[in-house]
Structure formats: structure tokens, C-alpha cells
Amino acid sequence: MRITTLATILMVMTAGLVGAADRNGQFRVEGGIDGDRYYCASYIVLRREVPNWEQYKSTSHVDNYWPWINGFITAYNVITPRTYSIRGDRPHTSLLLWLETWCKSHPLGHIGTGLAALFRELHATRFMVKPK
């Protein structure tokens, strides 16, 4: 199951972030078997309920979001040339806050689409090699 999920994420990242989207710039974001899982409206509700990063990591909701977000980040790092870490030295909390802000502007959007937008912003400042 984990291999299938990672493979799906890798395909999504390949399609959406390195130029393999359709001619309109659209790509399918996979993930979620519960209908509204991984959509911004649900993510905003969760962030309101559990705003603290340490609490967020220990809540049962982590199974719904954080592993998926982490896999999306890892997939980007794996398939993007000269990229060690798109996150760089930014804390996880800054990514979650950025995503929350994006989701408030796009409540019907998918968090994968939001992360793709974030990565376009972060790309120029990514870690291209492992820091010493």
C-alpha cells in the first residue's frame, strides 16, 4: 500500500511540477479515499481544531494529512533535478501555515494543488545539495 501511494505521488509530481501537465496546465492530483480527504475545506477545519504543530503531529488526523504532505514533499525532492530539499531550512510549521493561507483562498482546491503552488514559490531557494 505504501509503495502504491508513493508511486502515485511520484506520478502526480512528475505530471504537475516538471511540465508534464496537459496543454491547459492542469494535472490530476491523486489521494484520498474518503471523498473530501485532502481538500482545502477539510484541511482548514483541522488547522482550526489543531493549530499547534506539536499537537498536530500527535493527533489522529495526522494519518489524514501529514504523511500525505510529507510524501508529496519527498516525491518532489526525488524527481526534481538538483533538489535535495524543497523545504530548505524552513520549519514544517511554515509550510502548514502557507498551505492553510492558500486553502482559505481556494476552499474547493486540493492540498496537492496548493503544495504545487508553494513549491513553485520555494524552488529558487531550495537546498540543491545536502547541507554540511
Instruction: Look at residue 110 and give its three-state secondary structure.
Output: strand
Contact 90, 21 (CB under 8 A): no
Q: Tell me the Cα Rg of the chain.
A: 14
pLDDT in tens, 73-117: 999 999 999 999 999 999 888 998 899 999 999 999 988 889 999
Q: Is residue 19 part of a domain?
A: no
Residue 124: how many CB atoms within 10 A of its CB?
6
**In this predicted structure, what is the pLDDT of residue 14?**
43
Q: Three cell numbers at 106?
A: 481556494
Q: Is residue 24 part of a domain?
A: no
Contact 31, 38 (CB under 8 A): yes
Distance CA 117, CA 13 (A): 12
Length of the chain: 132
Q: Is residue 27 part of a domain?
A: no
Structural domain that includes position 78: 2-13+38-125
Q: Is residue 45 part of a domain?
A: yes
**Has residue 45 got a pLDDT over 80?**
yes
Q: Is residue 54 part of a domain?
A: yes
Confidence of residue 17 (pLDDT cuts 50, 70, 90): very low
Residue with cell 496537459: 22
Q: Is residue 25 part of a domain?
A: no
Distance CA 120, CA 118 (A): 5
